[in-house]
Amino acid sequence: MATEILCNRTGRETRVALMEDGQLAELHIDRGDERGYVGNIYLGKVVRVLPGMQAAFVDVGMERAAFLYVGDIVPEMIGRGTEDAEEEIEDVPEEGARSSPKPGMPAIQDLLSEGQELLVQVSKDPIGTKGARVTTHIAIPGRYLVCMPTVDHVGISRRIERDKDRRRLREFVDRHRRKGHGYIVRTVCEGQSTESLKADMEYLERTWDKVAEQRATRKAPSLLHEEVGLVIRLLRDIVDREIHRVILDDASTAEEVRAFLGDAGAGNRVQQYRGAEPIFDTYGVETEIHRALGRKVWLKSGGYLVIDQAEALMAIDVNSGRYVGSTSLEETTLKINLEAVQEIVYQLRLRNMGGIIILDFIDMDREANRDRVYKALEEALKKDRARTNVLKISELGMVEMTRKRTQEGLDRYLNEACSTCKGTGQLRARATLVYDVLRELRRVAHRTPDAAVLTVDVAPALADELYGERFDDLEAVERQVGRRVVVRATLGKHPEEFAVTAR
């Protein structure tokens, strides 16, 4: 798979597109003051301990206090054996995965108290109304290794399969690591020289020393270590892939990337874009971004997806649309569902959807066809860097799945709630509002028997409705209350708001 990275910088905003075989696969955005927090290390202060939830709120200096589960406080006390932990290790540890106390582990009220200072690392960005999630399991990722200064353990990525390489890497890291410091050997270490690994290890140890020095002199809440910038972070985290080209439209960022990739012999793959047209327009990225923000996504066959975001889950509905097939209903349904699988996984990655996701495929009668769609979904998800868990497809064509979420989805990052509908996507019908106004007129008339005139302030569209098709109803209310009613159209008034006054 040909992997390219495109970088666009406009003012304080940096956008990085991960391209796979010429198609946009992932989009990452950093706007300076709105950059992500994952990986940052803070000296925090416990502001509240919640025994009922076995969690605590920690002030790290953000707008909202961070959330710390008891299972994230002292990972080595959870009770997993070293061998089991090694088999579960990925390239980058799954921070924050353990969220409940295990048998024999102390309760959170026995570990923390209000006002206590502790070192924490952000494992999930603030999402919606929720604060960041933090852990005391510190993990500092480098290009080849991940340093874990709070865990005395060496783990090897399970993607390194040859026993000879695993033994060589384990022995090297064991011999050179600082006492008490754990390491994860990433997949990209396979075939690397010992000089490169040792240099990466020394860099990680220096980074940790700076954190330790600042902790001794700072007061909570305080930022002790900030993750590297977006472009370098993405290059570091996907360095186990073959990156064919990195194309950037900013000279300073290009130099930074060359310096990062230069010693790996990849510096010559960095190109500076000099075209007159914006880089994302040239490579078709801008079009895909706009497509990813829509509720309806069309398939090539004529079918389409409807993507809806609820408070606790995401729902994706598959529809046949204009596609009618040519053989049988079952074959038509199967073809649309198989096409939808590829588009669904593409949209999951591009929109960075996370949490609970419900996929509603078109009903299929044959179990063999349901299995075929499920296996196609499993295969397509192998491209996804985020961890997923997928349950078997039901007889109704429903699939329940989860996808690890560490930051806001693309739609919530690029969009904001409509000031008119407040994010619901709907407004009350004008007919409904008309009768609400008429009922309010009767209420106000009852409360103010001495008033001669009732005035209604409404939006222009509602005023047109009252003096148009509903004028007979308005006159009927005037006769009932025995008052004159004046309707005033007010520019800028919310379509659903109105006010009735008496004088």
pLDDT band per the 50, 70, 90 thresholds, residue 82: very low
- Whether residues 152 and 46 fall in one domain: yes
If asked whether residues 344 and 485 sit together in one domain, one would say: no
Alpha helices, H only, 112-193: 163-176
User: Pairing state of beta strands 453-458 and 484-489?
Assistant: parallel
pLDDT of residue 79: 34
What is the tens place of the pLDDT at every residue in 161-214? Answer: 788 888 888 888 888 899 889 998 887 777 777 888 888 899 899 999 999 999
- Asked if residue 185 and residue 148 are part of one domain, the reply reads yes
Are both 207 and 255 inside the same structural domain? no
371-380 CB burial, b ≥16 within 10 A, e <16: ebbbebbeeb
Average pLDDT over every residue of 248-272: 78
pLDDT per position as a tens digit, 344-373: 999 999 988 888 999 999 999 889 999 999
What CATH number has the domain bearing residue 206? Answer: 2.40.50.140
Q: Where does 361-439 show beta strands of DSSP type E?
A: 388-390, 398-403
pLDDT band at residue 307 under the 50/70/90 scheme: very high
Closest to 210 (Cα-Cα) out of 74, 123, 119, 117: 119
Residue 423 domain-assigned? no
81 Cβ partners below 8 Å, 6+ apart?
Answer: none
Instruction: State if pTM tops 0.85.
Output: no
Write the pLDDT tens digit of every residue in 406-460. Answer: 677 787 778 888 888 877 788 899 999 999 999 999 999 999 999 999 999 999 9
**CATH code of the domain in which 327 resides:** 3.40.630
Looking at the structure, tell me whether residues 75 and 165 fall in a common domain. yes
- For a pLDDT cut of 90, what percent of the chain falls above it? 44
Instruction: Look up the domain containing 241 and give its range.
Output: 3-33+231-286
Tell me, what's the pLDDT at 127?
Answer: 79
Higher pLDDT, 405 or 23: 23
Q: Please check whether residue 422 lies inside any domain of the structure.
A: no
Q: Are residues 268 and 216 in the same domain?
A: no
425 in any annotated domain: no
Is 97 a residue whose pLDDT tops 80? no
Q: Comparing 16 with 236, which gets the higher pLDDT?
A: 16
Residues 221 and 235 reside in one and the same domain: no
Name the residue type at position 128: G
Evaluate if residue 262 carries a pLDDT over 60: yes
Per-residue pLDDT, 104: 62
CATH of the domain at 481: 3.40.1260.20
Mean pLDDT of all residues belonging to the chain: 85
Where a domain ends, among 353, 388, 414?
A: 414
Do residues 135 and 248 share a domain?
A: no
Count of domains for the chain: 4
